[in-house]
C-alpha cells in the first residue's frame, strides 16, 4: 500500500474521531437527571461552608423538595425551615441545575444588598469555585462573552440576576421563569407592594414554566410572610417511623426530654420519646428514621407545595445540641429566637406591655455597687434642650443593675451641655463592694433626630476616644439588635464607625427580661431605689407592641402609649445594652480580673484627658 493511501486513511480516521467527539459534545441528548441526582454528580461543598464538606449527598427530606421544584404541576414552593437543614443548599443546587443542566434565566432576591454580598461570598461563589461544571458555564469576570458581577451572571441559555427587597429598581427590567425569594420575613415592604409579589410578576409571561421558591425562618404570629405562604399551600410535614413501633409521626419539641434536678440540666441525657409507644429514641436512631421518612400534605394540592421542617430533623444537630441552645436562649430571655430559628414556628407575644407598678415594687437598696457588677456601660439620648444618660452595671450572663440616671439640661446646639457630658463620662466613678471605683467603660450615643442634632452628635463622636461613646442610629422593623458598623466619611473630617441598632428587637429583649420572675441570675434586671422612681418606670414601660395593617399587610409595631409620650428611660437602657453587645466582652473573665485586681492593686482613679471639646 503506497504512502498516499496510508496518509488518506490516517486523516480519515482522525477526522472521524473529531466528528464523533463534536457530535457527542453538542448533539448527543443530555442524560435526564433530576436536581438530586445532578447535585450528587456535580456539586462539591468546600470546607468552611458546610458541616460535611466534600461531594454532595442529598438528605432524604431534601429530595422531596427537589422533586417539587422539578414538577411541571408545581408553580410555587414554600420552605418554612429551621436552622441547619440545608435550606440554602437547596436554593444553590437548584440555581446550579438551571445553569448547567437545564439552562434557564433566574432571579434571586435577598433581604438587603449586604445580604446579597454575604450570600455570594460565603455560599454561592465557594460552591461555584469547587464545581467546574457550573463554573465553566458562567461568563468570565470582565470577559467579553457576557456579564459576571455582583448583580448579574450570564451563561449560555440564560442569566442569573441578583436583587434585594429594599430596591424596587433591581426588580425591574428583567423577566425570568425561575424566581427565588430567600429569607422573605426579613424583606422591607415598599409603597408598590410586597417585594415577593412584585418579583413574581417578572415571571408572569412564562406560563407553566414559571416557578417561585420562597424560603425563610418565620418571625411574629400574624405578620410572618413565610407562614402565610406555607398555610396557603398544601402544608407538607415530614413523617418518620419509630424504630420500635414503626408508627409514623412528626418530630416535635414537646417530646424531647432530658434529666434535670434543681435547676441543673444534663443536656447529654437528651433523647426523643415516641408519641405512640413511649419508647426512647437516640440520635443514631433519629438518622435512620429520617432516611425512611416521607412528606405528607395536610391540605389538597393546588399547585403550591409548602414544606415545614424544624431543627430536630437536622443530621448535623444532636438532641443535646438543641437542648443546650434552648437553655441558653431561655437564660437570656430570648426564647423568640429559639422558636423562630430552631422550631421554625412563629412567635406570639404573651402580654405585650409591662405594668410600671409591678416594677416599682421590685426596687432594691444598696449603698455601694453589688459584687455581681463587673462592667458599666451607658446609653445616651439627645433631645433639643437636654441630654439624658442611663448607666447600667453588668454581670455574668447579662444580669444587670440600673445604677444611675442623669439629665444634662441645655440647648444641644450649644457646646456647654456637651462639655458637661464629657466631664461625666470621663470622671464619674461608682464605689464597688470590692473597694474599687468603677468608671463608665463604654457608652452608646443616639445620633438620630434633626439634622442639626445629628451633626453635633457626629462631631462629638469624632472628638471622643473609642467606646466613649459609640455612635449609633436606631431603626425599627425586623433587624438584628446590633449590626456591623458602617464607616462614616466626610471630606476634611475624621472618619468614625456608625452602628445600626434594631430598636424593635432591643425592646423585645428588654420587655422579655422585665417579665422574668427570678430574683437574680441570667438576664434579671435590678433597680436602685435611689434612681428608679415612678417616673422612671413610666418611661421604661411607655411602649406597647401592636399589630397593624399597612396596605393590607400585617406588621407588628411598637407604639408609645404613655400620657406624656416620654420614653427616654426605655431608649437609654437599650443603648446601654447595645454598648455591651458591641464590645462583646467576656463578663465571666471580667469578673475574674476584677477580683484579682481588688486583691493586688491599690485604688487609683485615672485622670483621663484624651477627650477634649
pLDDT of 259-303, one tens digit each? 988 778 999 999 999 999 999 999 999 999 999 999 999 999 999
Q: Cell for 66?
A: 427537589
pTM, full prediction: 0.65
Rounded to the nearest angstrom, the gap between the alpha carbon of residue 420 and the centroid of all alpha carbons in its chain is: 39
Q: To the nearest whole percent, how much of the chain has pLDDT over 90?
A: 58
* Boundaries of every domain in the chain: 35-342, 356-600
Rounded to the nearest angstrom, the gap between the alpha carbon of residue 151 and the centroid of all alpha carbons in its chain is: 22
The pLDDT value recorded for residue 437 is 93
pLDDT at 37 exceeding the cut of 90 = yes
User: Is there a contact between 291 and 60 (Cβ–Cβ < 8 Å)?
Assistant: yes
Give per-residue pLDDT as tens, 165-194.
877 666 666 789 999 999 999 887 766 778
The pLDDT value recorded for residue 290 is 96
Q: Cell for 441?
A: 467603660
Comparing C-alpha atoms, which of 572, 575, 574, 570 is closest to residue 559?
570
The pLDDT value recorded for residue 267 is 92
pLDDT at 208 exceeding the cut of 50 = yes
- In this structure, whether the domain defined by 35-342 belongs to CATH 3.40.50.300 is answered with yes
- CA 444/CA 423 separation, integer angstroms: 16
| Annotation: CATH topology of 356-600 | Nucleotidyltransferase; domain 5 (3.30.420)
The pLDDT value recorded for residue 407 is 96
pLDDT at 51 exceeding the cut of 70 = no
The pLDDT value recorded for residue 2 is 65
Which runs of E-coded beta strand occur in 374-425? 375-382, 386-394, 400-409
The pLDDT value recorded for residue 138 is 92
pLDDT at 28 exceeding the cut of 70 = no
Stretch among 16-25, 109-118, 511-520 having the lowest mean pLDDT? 16-25
Kindly state the average pLDDT of the residues 392-414. Answer: 95
319 band by pLDDT with thresholds 50, 70 and 90? very high
Pairing of strands 375-382, 304-309: unpaired
Is residue 610 packed enough to be buried (19+ CB in 10 Å), middle (13-18) or exposed (0-12)?
exposed
pLDDT at 50 exceeding the cut of 90 = no
Q: How many CB atoms lie within 10 A of CB 563?
A: 8
Stretch among 36-50, 79-93, 383-397, 579-593 having the lowest mean pLDDT? 36-50
198 band by pLDDT with thresholds 50, 70 and 90? confident
The pLDDT value recorded for residue 8 is 65
29 band by pLDDT with thresholds 50, 70 and 90? very low
Give per-residue pLDDT as tens, 108-166.
999 988 899 999 999 999 999 999 999 999 988 876 778 888 889 999 989 999 998 87
The pLDDT value recorded for residue 596 is 81
CA distance readout (Å), 460 to 413, 415, 424, 570, 612 = 12, 10, 14, 23, 9
Q: Which residues on adjacent β-strands are paired with residue 308?
A: 80, 237
The pLDDT value recorded for residue 423 is 94
Give per-residue pLDDT as tens, 247-271.
999 999 999 999 988 778 999 999 9
Which runs of E-coded beta strand occur in 459-504? 470-475, 486-488, 496-502
Amino acid at each position: 500500500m503506497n504512502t498516499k493511501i496510508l496518509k488518506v486513511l490516517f486523516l480519515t480516521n482522525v477526522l472521524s474521531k473529531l466528528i464523533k467527539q463534536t457530535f457527542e459534545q453538542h448533539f448527543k441528548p443530555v442524560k435526564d437527571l433530576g436536581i438530586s441526582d445532578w447535585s450528587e454528580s456535580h456539586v462539591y461543598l468546600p470546607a468552611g461552608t458546610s458541616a460535611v464538606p466534600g461531594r454532595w449527598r442529598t438528605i432524604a427530606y431534601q429530595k422531596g423538595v427537589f422533586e417539587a421544584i422539578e414538577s411541571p404541576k408545581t408553580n410555587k414552593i414554600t420552605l418554612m425551615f429551621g436552622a441547619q437543614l440545608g435550606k440554602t443548599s437547596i436554593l444553590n443546587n437548584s440555581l446550579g441545575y438551571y445553569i448547567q443542566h437545564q439552562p434557564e434565566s433566574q432571579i434571586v432576591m435577598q433581604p438587603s444588598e449586604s445580604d446579597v454580598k454575604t450570600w455570594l461570598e460565603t455560599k454561592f461563589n465557594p460552591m461555584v469555585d469547587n464545581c467546574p461544571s457550573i463554573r465553566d458555564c458562567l461568563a468570565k469576570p470582565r470577559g467579553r462573552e457576557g456579564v459576571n458581577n455582583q448583580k448579574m451572571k450570564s451563561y449560555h441559555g440564560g442569566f442569573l440576576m441578583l436583587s434585594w427587597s429594599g430596591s424596587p429598581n433591581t426588580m425591574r427590567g428583567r423577566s425570568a421563569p425561575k424566581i427565588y425569594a430567600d429569607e422573605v420575613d426579613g424583606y422591607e415592604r415598599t409603597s408598590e407592594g410586597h417585594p415577593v409579589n412584585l418579583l413574581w410578576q417578572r415571571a408572569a409571561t412564562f406560563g407553566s414554566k414559571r416557578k417561585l421558591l420562597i424560603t425563610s425562618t418565620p418571625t411574629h404570629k400574624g405578620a410572618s410572610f413565610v407562614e402565610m405562604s406555607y398555610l396557603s399551600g398544601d402544608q407538607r410535614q415530614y413523617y418518620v417511623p419509630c424504630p420500635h413501633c414503626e408508627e409514623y409521626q412528626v418530630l416535635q419539641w414537646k417530646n424531647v426530654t432530658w434529666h434535670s434536678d434543681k435547676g441543673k440540666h444534663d443536656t447529654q441525657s437528651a433523647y426523643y420519646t415516641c408519641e405512640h409507644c413511649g419508647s426512647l429514641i437516640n440520635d443514631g436512631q433519629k438518622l435512620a428514621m429520617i432516611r425512611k421518612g416521607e412528606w405528607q400534605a395536610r391540605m389538597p394540592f393546588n399547585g403550591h407545595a409548602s414544606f415545614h421542617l424544624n431543627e430536630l430533623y437536622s443530621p448535623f444537630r444532636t438532641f443535646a445540641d438543641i437542648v443546650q441552645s434552648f437553655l441558653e436562649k431561655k437564660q437570656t430571655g430570648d426564647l423568640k429566637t429559639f422558636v423562630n430559628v430552631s422550631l421554625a414556628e412563629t412567635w406570639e407575644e404573651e402580654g405585650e406591655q409591662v405594668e410600671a407598678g409591678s416594677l416599682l415594687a421590685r426596687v432594691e437598696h444598696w449603698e455601694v455597687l453589688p459584687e455581681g457588677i463587673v462592667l458599666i456601660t451607658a446609653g445616651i439620648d439627645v433631645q433639643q434642650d437636654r441630654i439624658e444618660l442611663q448607666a447600667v452595671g453588668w454581670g455574668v450572663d447579662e444580669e444587670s443593675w440600673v445604677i444611675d440616671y442623669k439629665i444634662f439640661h441645655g440647648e444641644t446646639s450649644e457646646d456647654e451641655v456637651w462639655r458637661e457630658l464629657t466631664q461625666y463620662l470621663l470622671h464619674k466613678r461608682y464605689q464597688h463592694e470590692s473597694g474599687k471605683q468603677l468608671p463608665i467603660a463604654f457608652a452608646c450615643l443616639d445620633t438620630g433626630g434633626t439634622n442639626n442634632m445629628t451633626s453635633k452628635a457626629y462631631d462629638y463622636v469624632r472628638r471622643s476616644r473609642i467606646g466613649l461613646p459609640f455612635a449609633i442610629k436606631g431603626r425599627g422593623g425586623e433587624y438584628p439588635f446590633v449590626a456591623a458598623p458602617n464607616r462614616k466619611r466626610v471630606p476634611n473630617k475624621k472618619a468614625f464607625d456608625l452602628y445600626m441598632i434594631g430598636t424593635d428587637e432591643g425592646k423585645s429583649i428588654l420587655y422579655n427580661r422585665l417579665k422574668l420572675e427570678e430574683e437574680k441570675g441570667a438576664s434579671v434586671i435590678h433597680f436602685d431605689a435611689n434612681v428608679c422612681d415612678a417616673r422612671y418606670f413610666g418611661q421604661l414601660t411607655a411602649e406597647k407592641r401592636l399589630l397593624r395593617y399597612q396596605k393590607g399587610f400585617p406588621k407588628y409595631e411598637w407604639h408609645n402609649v404613655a400620657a406624656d409620650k416620654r420614653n427616654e428611660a426605655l431608649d437609654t437602657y437599650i443603648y446601654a445594652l447595645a454598648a455591651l453587645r458591641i464590645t462583646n466582652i467576656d463578663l465571666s473573665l471580667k469578673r475574674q480580673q476584677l477580683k484579682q485586681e481588688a486583691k493586688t492593686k491599690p485604688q487609683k482613679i485615672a485622670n483621663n484627658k484624651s477627650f477634649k471639646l
